[in-house]
């Protein structure tokens, strides 16, 4: 696996080259000489993260508090069995 390094300016000037380099391995994007970001292919990202996230994992991510999530309320009707109905009436 080959790694590449692009300054922020180089990355901005030639995003296509950075994307091509990411096919060979991670691309480190530097800001003032220090690594600030990493560009990966989606396949490599999924491999590193273990694939798809569950809903609970996605909601636990930083920034997820901004996601509006209100599942619809459901009514669950419970039927009382006939034999319990008789005991309650004293029969």
What is the pLDDT confidence band of residue 56, given thresholds at 50, 70 and 90?
Answer: confident
Following DSSP, what letter does each residue of 29-87 receive, concatenated?
Answer: EEETTEEEEEE--HHHHHHHHTSPPPHHHHHTSTTGGGS---PPP---PPPPPHHHHHH
Domain spanning 4-51, CATH architecture = 3-Layer(aba) Sandwich (3.40)
pTM: predicted TM-score of the whole model, two decimal places: 0.55
What is the pLDDT confidence band of residue 8, given thresholds at 50, 70 and 90?
Answer: very high
């Amino acid at each position: 696996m080959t790694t590449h390094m692009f300054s922020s300016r180089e990355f901005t000037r030639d995003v296509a080259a950075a994307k091509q380099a990411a096919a060979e391995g991670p691309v480190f994007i530097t800001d003032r000489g220090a690594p600030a970001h990493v560009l990966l292919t989606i396949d490599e990202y999924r491999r590193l993260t273990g694939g798809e996230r569950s809903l609970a994992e996605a909601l636990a991510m930083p920034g997820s508090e901004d996601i509006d999530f209100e599942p619809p309320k459901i009514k669950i009707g419970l039927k009382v069995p006939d034999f319990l109905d008789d005991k309650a009436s004293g029969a």
